[in-house]
Amino acid sequence: MRKWIIGILTVVVVAGGIFWAAADKDMRRLILNLPTNTDVLFWSISQRDAAFRAMDRMPVLAKSRIISTNKKVHPLPTGKPLDVGTDVDGYMKDQRTAALVIVQDGKIRLEKYGLDFGPDGRWTSFSVAKSITSTLVGAAIKDGYIKNLSDKVSDYIPDLRGSVYDNVTIKQLLTMTSGVKWNEDYGDPKSDVALFNAHKAEPGVDATVSYMRNLTRDVPPGTKWVYKTGETNLIGVLASSATNKNLSDYLAEKIWQPFGMEQGASWILGTTGHEIGGCCMQASTRDFARFGLFMLGEGFADGKSVLPDGWVAEATMKHADTDKPDYGYGYQWWTLNDGAYSARGIFGQGIFIDTKRKLVIASNSNWPQATDKQGGDQGKKRLAFYRQVQQAIDREAKL
């Protein structure tokens, strides 16, 4: 018996050694700092450092779906180095930035990496995915799957009929003005945003729909903006239901492949199999920048228009005031008064787009806090950095 036990242990140790040797550095980091629960908001900094680059390989999370690419790659040639006029390395250290890619006029003007991350790695998006999900609604309208933004949400998600969403339009969902009561406090373990991902779905009902249809009304639809990740998940369910395609395949079909993304990406699924529309795409930072270029180019991919005429301008204009003095809100895009707009995710993920300057800034980070509301100021500093980049480009134009 003793020899048998020793033999089994030897096999386990050897197998473990082989697995460790075969694992890439991101997987090794994850193994050493493995979170044991799905409460991302309450992981330690070291756990987040490890997990954000390997979310789709974590056993504690649900499965993910691949967003496939093809051999045709949208080029990102190197342009003249951009003198931002500030200490970029110091800025990245303060932001705990893993990747910073600045593209201007189609060329990479600055590209830097930190946190032992690099161009071949994939970092999770968090709410940057919201802006991508809303863009798929535009594609579904272009393709005729969705008739109009004035359609009721429950027309496309029948399981919402009889709920507080009966009189909510797709446009109100896109602009976060449904009037439904919701708590998005990232520091509160009893908030809706903390609870709904762990919700046990009713039989035969999508997990997000099951949670959201039991919410109550706060104010009439269209009268108040409140940020609600759960509603972006509903947008994802709506787009998937309307097209009869999962979001990953539809994104690959409409944008990822025809625009020429360099790497395959992934999208984490909820417990009932839908992509989590408000979160959790894993992609390279260069490909996040390419998505910004897709928007900058008015939604054309491989010479064909993917979105309805005027969609980009409409989606990225201010439709609602927010609780952030510098930002308005469009169709799941954060808008600025100078016409620039951005996709933003907790802990410092972002795509900043400035049409006037032909500018895209893609960055991925791991801030100490989820947002500035939890006591940090990284969000303010990032906006200040965006402004410095704009000013640097303006200085060049005057030379």
Residue-range domains of the chain with CATH: 80-398 (3.40.710.10)
Instruction: State the average pLDDT for the chain.
Output: 91
Average pLDDT over residues 303-330: 97
Average pLDDT over residues 360-374: 95
Could you tell me the pTM of the whole model? 0.91
Minimum mean pLDDT range among 93-97, 151-155, 182-186, 253-257: 182-186
Q: Which residue has the tokens 């490890």?
A: 50
pLDDT exceeds 50 at position 310: yes
pLDDT exceeds 70 at position 21: no
Residues in the chain: 399
DSSP 116-155: T--TT--EE-TTHHHHHHHHHHHHHHHTTSS--TTSBGGG
**Closest listed residue to residue 388, CA positions, set 88, 149, 52, 17:** 88
Q: What pLDDT shows up at residue 58?
A: 83
Rounded alpha-carbon distances, angstroms, from residue 41 to 189, 233, 370: 9, 18, 7
pLDDT band at 358 (very low <50, low <70, confident <90, very high): very high
Please tell me the distance from the alpha carbon of residue 118 to that of residue 111, in angstroms, as a whole number. Answer: 10
pLDDT exceeds 70 at position 10: no
| Tens digit of each residue's pLDDT (9 = 90 or more) over 209-233 | 999 999 999 999 999 999 999 999 9
Instruction: For 128-167, give one letter per residue: b (16+ CB within 10 A) or e.
Output: bbbbbbbbbbbbbbbeebbeebebbbbbbbebbeebbbee
| Tens digit of each residue's pLDDT (9 = 90 or more) over 135-148 | 999 999 999 999 99
Q: How many CB atoms lie within 10 A of CB 106?
A: 15
pLDDT exceeds 60 at position 2: no
Average pLDDT over residues 6-17: 34
Please tell me the distance from the alpha carbon of residue 263 to that of residue 261, in angstroms, as a whole number. Answer: 6
pLDDT band at 7 (very low <50, low <70, confident <90, very high): very low
Rounded alpha-carbon distances, angstroms, from residue 103 to 81, 295, 384: 11, 13, 18
